[in-house]
A and B are shown apart, each in its own frame.
Chain A
C-alpha cells in the first residue's frame, strides 16, 4: 500500500487538481451562459415555450457525445472538455433559473412596480434574489453532474481522475480504479454538501425555507 502511494501519490494529486479545475471552469462558464439565457427566456414567454422542450431533449444526450463530437472538431485540447462540460452544466442551471424566476409571486412584482422600480431594478433586486434557492438547486445538480462527466476527459487523453479509472478497468488493476473512483466520489459529495451548506446559511439569514 505504501509503495502504491509513493508511486502514484503525486499523480493522484495532480489528477484531482486537473479534475477540479475542469469542474470549476466549466460550471462557472455554464452558469454565466445559463443566467443570461434564463433571464432572456423569462422575459420572452414565446421563446421559452419553444426552447424548453428543445433543452429537455438535448439533456438526454450523454456527455460522452458532446466530448466525442467536439473532439472531432476542436481536437485534443482542454477546450474540448471545458466546452462540452459547460454545455452539459448549463442545462439544469438554465431550467432552474427559468423556473425560479417564473415562480416569483406576481404580487411582489406588482408591489415593486408600485414602488417605482425600473424593470432592471425589479430583476436585480426582487426577482433574482427570490429565485436564488432554485438557482442554487440547479447549480448543485450541475456541479455533481460535471464531476461525474469530467471523468470522460481521460477518454480523449486529457487527464483528470478518469485516467486512473479507465486504465484500472482496462488493465484489471483494482488499486487504480479505487485511486480514481474514491477521490471523484469524495469530490462530488463534498461539493454538493458545500452548496447545500451555502443554501442553508442563506435561508437562515433571510428567514425563508
Chain B
C-alpha cells in the first residue's frame, strides 16, 4: 500500500512538472522575445503562486472535477513561476557580446534562439525546474483533499486517527523525497554550470 501511495505522489509531481515545463518554457521565451508580453506574463505567474494552494485546487476542481487531473493542473499553475521567471532571466542575462556575434554570423532570430540562447540559458532554466519539483512534492500533500491520493492521504489519516506512527511515516517519506530530488538535481545543476563555464 505504501509503495502505491509513493508512486501516486511521484506520478502527480512528475506529470505536473512535465506539463509545467511544456507550458512555462514557451511562456518564458515569449516574455523574452516580446517586450509587451513581459510584464503581464511575469506578473500572472507570480499572482498564481500567491493564491493559497488549497484554494487554487478547490477552484480548479470546480472546472475539472475531483481527481488526479485537478491536482496536476493546480500544481502546474503553481510551478509556472519558477520556470517562466528562470527561462526569462536565463535568456536575458546571456552575454550581449555572444548574442551580437551570433547575429553577425547571419543567424536568423529562430536559429539564434534554438542554437545559441536556449542552450546557454539551460542551467538557469534547470534551476527553475528544480525549485518547481521540490515545491510540488510539498504541495502535492493537498492532493488527497481533492481526491488525488498521494502521501497526504497517509498524513491526513494519521492525524484523524491520532496515529503518530502513520504521520511520521508519511512525513519522513515526503521529506526524503524532497531532499533526494533537491540533492540529485542540484548535482546535475552543478555539472551543467561547470560545463557552461568550461
Query: Measuring CB to CB, which residues of chain A are less than 8 angstroms from any residue of chain B?
Result: 57, 60-62, 64-65, 67-69, 71-72, 144, 147-149, 151-152, 155-156, 161-162, 165-166, 168-169, 174, 177-178, 180-182, 184-185, 188-189, 192
Contacts and interface: CB of A to CB of B under 8 A. Distances in A.
10 contacts: A57-B179, A60-B175, A60-B182, A62-B171, A64-B141, A155-B159, A161-B55, A182-B55, A184-B55, A188-B51
Interface of B: 47, 49-56, 58-59, 61-62, 66, 134, 137-139, 141, 145-146, 152, 155-156, 158-159, 162, 164, 167, 170-171, 174-175, 178-179, 182
Contacts of B178: 60
Contacts of A57: 175, 179
A61 B175 contact: yes
B174 A166 contact: no
Contacts of B47: 189
A62 B175 CA distance: 9
Task: Name B's interface SS.
Answer: helix
Contacts, number: 103
Contacts of B54: 148, 151-152, 162, 165, 181
A147 B54 CA distance: 11
B167 A165 contact: no
A151 B167 contact: no
Contacts of A155: 156, 159
Interface centre among A72, A165, A188 (most CB of B within 10 A): A165
B167 A148 contact: no
Nearest to A186: B51
Nearest to B46: A192
A192 to B, nearest CB: 5
Contacts of A72: 159, 162, 164, 167
Given A62-B139, A67-B159, 8 more contacts: A57-B179, A60-B134, A62-B152, A62-B174, A148-B53, A151-B54, A181-B52, A181-B56
B179 A185 contact: no
Nearest to A187: B52
Contacts of B53: 148, 151
Contacts of B155: 62, 64-65, 68
B159 A68 contact: yes
Contacts of A61: 171, 174-175
B97 to A, nearest CB: 25
A14 B135 CA distance: 31
Contacts of B49: 144
